[in-house]
């Protein structure tokens, strides 16, 4: 956006605090790639790096009137740092979810079909709880409360594109986890039948 080309990031953020969404878009355009590279260099996971950067911008916009930022770029890079640390803190919880299910499989008896179904449901609930806050909120609104993308966008004061991206990422991750679990379940049942 040529109009904002001469503005510093700090001047742009001042405009953002006055609800100037074009100034916000300019900050996004100038810094997104650098923030993504910083996040991805630590995570080695492009999808997670994109999500972290997206969360940072969602937070920046939604709390624009509450924040006093002296150096915008430094603030954004600090945000990447803390989001990455938070991601690694949460990561073990995601592995615990699968381990809990494996423990259930090890104690599986053929007559325990309902128990496995209950454990499966608990597993999905734990997985949802392990999602980043914003993604969990969007996922719950869509699939638990049956809200539309438009309703979620309005409720959380975010764009419908952000809602769609978060839902796409969440459903892809859920499918990956469920595929692994179904494979483990199949292998376990197959192993039981052979031996």
Residue in the block written with tokens 């969360």: 55
In 63-194, which ranges are continuous DSSP H helix? 72-106, 113-130, 133-143, 149-156, 160-194
In Å, the largest CA–CA distance within the chain is 73
Tens digits of residue pLDDT in 21-74:
899 999 999 999 999 999 988 888 888 899 899 989 988 888 888 778 889 999
- Dist CA 53 CA 55 (whole Å): 5
The pLDDT score that the predictor gives to residue 157 is 92
DSSP letter for each residue of 156-174: HT--HHHHHHHHHHHHHHH
Instruction: Please state, in angstroms and rounded to a whole number, the distance separating the CA atoms of residues 53 and 80.
Output: 7
Could you give the number of structural domains in the chain?
Answer: 1
Task: List the pLDDT tens digit at each of the 195 positions of the chain.
Answer: 568 888 999 999 999 999 898 999 999 999 999 999 999 888 888 888 998 999 899 888 888 887 788 899 999 999 999 888 888 777 655 555 555 555 554 554 544 556 556 766 777 788 788 888 888 899 889 888 888 989 999 999 998 888 888 888 888 887 777 777 666 666 655 555 444
CATH of the domain at 76: 1.10.1740.10
Task: Report the alpha-carbon distance of residue 129 to residue 66 in Å, rounded.
Answer: 27
**What's the domain range around 144?**
2-194
Q: What is the pTM of this model?
A: 0.50
């Amino acid at each position: 956006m040529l109009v904002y080309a001469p503005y510093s990031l700090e001047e742009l953020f001042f405009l953002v605090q006055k609800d100037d969404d074009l100034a916000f878009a300019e900050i996004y355009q100038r810094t997104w790639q650098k923030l993504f590279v910083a996040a991805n260099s630590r995570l080695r996971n492009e999808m997670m790096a994109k999500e972290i950067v997206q969360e940072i911008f969602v937070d920046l916009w939604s709390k624009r009137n509450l924040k006093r930022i002296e150096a915008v770029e430094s603030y954004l890079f600090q945000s990447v740092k803390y989001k990455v640390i938070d991601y690694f803190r949460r990561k073990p919880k995601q592995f615990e979810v699968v381990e809990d299910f494996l423990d259930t499989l090890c104690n599986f008896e053929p007559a325990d079909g309902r128990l496995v179904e209950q454990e499966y449901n608990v597993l999905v609930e734990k997985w949802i709880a392990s999602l980043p806050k914003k993604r969990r909120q969007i996922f719950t609104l869509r699939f638990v409360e049956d809200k539309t993308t438009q309703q979620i966008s309005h409720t959380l004061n975010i764009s419908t594109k952000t809602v769609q991206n978060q839902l796409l990422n969440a459903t892809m991750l859920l499918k990956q986890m469920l595929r692994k679990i179904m494979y483990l379940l199949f292998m376990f049942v197959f192993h039981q039948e052979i031996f």
